[in-house]
A and B are shown apart, each in its own frame.
Chain A
């Protein structure tokens, strides 16, 4: 499968976070279908790309600027399951926004996860700006913008790539290409086959990677980070992947994707594929695996219970934090 230079411990950790993300994600859908969570945006299917790239970074020190698909990413980056559930349910102690933003609008200063809005591609420029500061302050940080392929139609995506390349900023543009922007397929989004092809127009490398293989993603991200730290400028990574669920809990993907297509991709589900890999290669024993499953179940239950019991924001806080 992949580069075996990644230590077994790291591979276990990657697997654990992918599995935990999937379990949390599944729980969120249940809460939604029970009417307890108004809306869910899923990372289901993107776990390898997100967790693999996160582990290649200096987690909590390098900046990540995620988008709404990135549950597994922020989990791998240090946001706790409880925090994620608080966010889902709009509770007062949600560290992302205190219940102000829709679910999946991540942001946690403690872990250097920059807060994000809903307009796609705006975050790409923020990543370039974070990197601009890192370059000037020489703080040794790399910034990574995460975004879907649909957002690469936005001007700000192109402005960000151009700015970063001109100033050789320590930034990585990490595209999670799942083939659809809600219902619009990539072929209606761009007249090139690959997002990575954009890179050459801006004078940076464009790398395509199997987004369902966490170890391959880990490796290309590690290399891009080294380039960035060496002052060689930005890299555009395109992780080809697939989402197995609709765009959100309000969407029904049967309108635009055939079941056969989904089933075909499902054969390459990154979680089951990697699970098979770690078990077959005895990176994870059956006992360890069972213990891990148990732990994940407990963690998800704990996070759900904790968040459901947590207080909602007081309306008197409505006007807090308009200014410093």
Chain B
């Protein structure tokens, strides 16, 4: 067991998986010689060669489209989209092709494909290097969307994603890469996709969130604990398919729910989580479901005060939770 950053956990998992199964290939822009712009794939081409860690042309639709073809023909591609913001040229390939191929072929074909993409803000990435794009894909049946919150989860969820027979989007928060550290077992293990993780037990209110926001919520919970507010935290881990049971369990337990995400408020996962609770746990609610999310502006601005105003922070989470606890 070693202490690793979130980024190292992903890299070591890729390494372990590439060693385990020679059908796995990695490709994308700059993933080879350079090891990726964030160094996630550093050293992998040196170990596995140019045929398995491939520098692709700078064309996202081609990256995903070829990955679909390669997956159908026996490989397990793990392409990287350099920034989640750049995934949009490949939307047609992801949504209309990868996600539908099993369904439209009546189960004849499957696309075992993992698309990795760094996402999220707070790193001075501005409009085109900060976006949270998960809600677009969470809307699409046929896709799975995974967003790990810890180095441990990063490993177990990535291994599960690679093992999955269907397309999985695996989003990695840029600010988590080097700021989150934790113990990661050396051996391979799987964390099931579609299962949430109760990160912290509490009785006054539940924070339902995912990704980087889990650790922000944990920081907020520690502050609130000193104020006598007991916070439960549910890490969704997978935002499609959602772990409905876990969501309803925590909502029923505390009766007060705060959903947190960095992605824009409107049409975000918070809306879906809220709807599920309203539909299935109404008579356990002791307060309106509250959402804390990125504001409805087109994308995260660059200048630090603007960026800070956009970002969901531990302070903002604590403030929202306080309000909810008082209700």
Measured CB to CB, the residues of A under 8 A from B are 63, 65, 94-101, 105, 107-109, 114-115, 117, 119, 122, 124-137, 139, 141, 143, 155-156, 159-160, 162-163, 166-167, 320-324
Q: How far is the CB of B10 from chain A (nearest CB, A)?
A: 23
A161 to chain B: closest residue by CB: B62
Q: How far is the CB of B69 from chain A (nearest CB, A)?
A: 2
B65 touches A159 (CB 8 A): yes
Q: Which of A117, A133, A323 contacts B73 (CB 8 A)?
A: A133
Q: Which of A96, A135, A156, A323 contacts B166 (CB 8 A)?
A: A323
Q: How far is the CB of A246 from chain B (nearest CB, A)?
A: 25
**In the complex, per-residue mask of B155-176: 1 if CB is within 8 Å of any chain A CB, else 0:** 0000000001110000000000
Q: How far is the CB of A91 from chain B (nearest CB, A)?
A: 11
B103 touches A100 (CB 8 A): yes
A129 touches B107 (CB 8 A): no
Task: Find chain B residues with CB under 8 A from A128 CB.
Answer: 62, 65-66, 69
**Contacts A125-B69, A128-B65, A136-B25 given; 6 further ones with Cβ under 8 A?**
A125-B93, A126-B65, A126-B69, A155-B61, A322-B102, A324-B110
Of residues 83 to 108 in B, which have CB atoms within 8 Å of A's CB atoms?
A: 89, 92-93, 96-97, 100-108
Task: Find chain A residues with CB under 8 A from B52 CB.
Answer: 136
B72 touches A114 (CB 8 A): yes
27 CB contacts below 8 A, A to B, read: A95-B108, A96-B105, A97-B104, A98-B106, A100-B106, A109-B105, A115-B108, A115-B109, A117-B100, A122-B96, A124-B65, A125-B62, A128-B66, A132-B66, A133-B70, A134-B73, A136-B70, A137-B74, A141-B73, A155-B59, A155-B89, A156-B62, A156-B92, A159-B61, A160-B65, A163-B66, A167-B54
A127 touches B62 (CB 8 A): no
User: Are A133 and B69 also in contact (CB < 8 A) when A125-B62, A163-B62 are?
Assistant: yes
Separation of A131 and B64 alpha carbons in the complex (Å): 14
Q: Chain B interface residue count: which class? A: 35 or more
Of residues 107 to 165 in B, which have CB atoms within 8 Å of A's CB atoms?
A: 107-110, 141-142, 144, 164-165
Task: Find chain A residues with CB under 8 A from B102 CB.
Answer: 321-324
Separation of A115 and B57 alpha carbons in the complex (Å): 25
A136 to chain B: closest residue by CB: B51
Separation of A137 and B56 alpha carbons in the complex (Å): 18
Q: How far is the CB of B245 from chain A (nearest CB, A)?
A: 17
B69 touches A101 (CB 8 A): no
In the A-B complex, the 10 residue pairs with the smallest Cβ-Cβ separation, listed nearest first, are A129-B69, A125-B65, A98-B106, A129-B66, A159-B62, A133-B73, A324-B165, A126-B69, A130-B69, A133-B70
B164 touches A324 (CB 8 A): yes
Task: Find chain A residues with CB under 8 A from B104 CB.
Answer: 97, 100-101, 105, 107, 115, 117
* Cβ of B71 under 8 Å from chain A: yes
Separation of A126 and B93 alpha carbons in the complex (Å): 9
Q: How far is the CB of A123 from chain B (nearest CB, A)?
A: 9
Q: Which of A108, A119, A322 contacts B108 (CB 8 A)?
A: A108
Q: Which of B61, B77, B141 contacts A125 (CB 8 A)?
A: B61
* Cβ of B242 under 8 Å from chain A: no
Q: Which of B75, B105, B142, B166 contacts A107 (CB 8 A)?
A: B105
* Cβ of B208 under 8 Å from chain A: no
Separation of A114 and B66 alpha carbons in the complex (Å): 13
Task: Find chain A residues with CB under 8 A from B144 CB.
Answer: 323
* Cβ of B14 under 8 Å from chain A: no
Q: Which of B57, B77, B92, B107 contacts A321 (CB 8 A)?
A: B107
B59 touches A159 (CB 8 A): yes
Q: How far is the CB of A77 from chain B (nearest CB, A)?
A: 15
* Cβ of B67 under 8 Å from chain A: yes
* Cβ of B247 under 8 Å from chain A: no
Separation of A130 and B66 alpha carbons in the complex (Å): 7
Q: How far is the CB of A245 from chain B (nearest CB, A)?
A: 26
Separation of A143 and B72 alpha carbons in the complex (Å): 12
User: Which of A124, A129, A322 has the largest number of chain B CB atoms within 10 A?
Assistant: A129
Separation of A34 and B97 alpha carbons in the complex (Å): 33
B105 touches A63 (CB 8 A): no
B108 touches A129 (CB 8 A): no
Q: How far is the CB of B91 from chain A (nearest CB, A)?
A: 11
B27 to chain A: closest residue by CB: A132
Task: Find chain B residues with CB under 8 A from A167 CB.
Answer: 54
* Cβ of B311 under 8 Å from chain A: no
A93 to chain B: closest residue by CB: B106
Task: Find chain A residues with CB under 8 A from B318 CB.
Answer: none
A99 to chain B: closest residue by CB: B106
Q: How far is the CB of B57 from chain A (nearest CB, A)?
A: 5
Task: Find chain A residues with CB under 8 A from B44 CB.
Answer: none
Separation of A82 and B187 alpha carbons in the complex (Å): 51
* Cβ of B81 under 8 Å from chain A: no
A129 to chain B: closest residue by CB: B69
* Cβ of B68 under 8 Å from chain A: yes
A130 touches B142 (CB 8 A): no
Separation of A94 and B62 alpha carbons in the complex (Å): 30
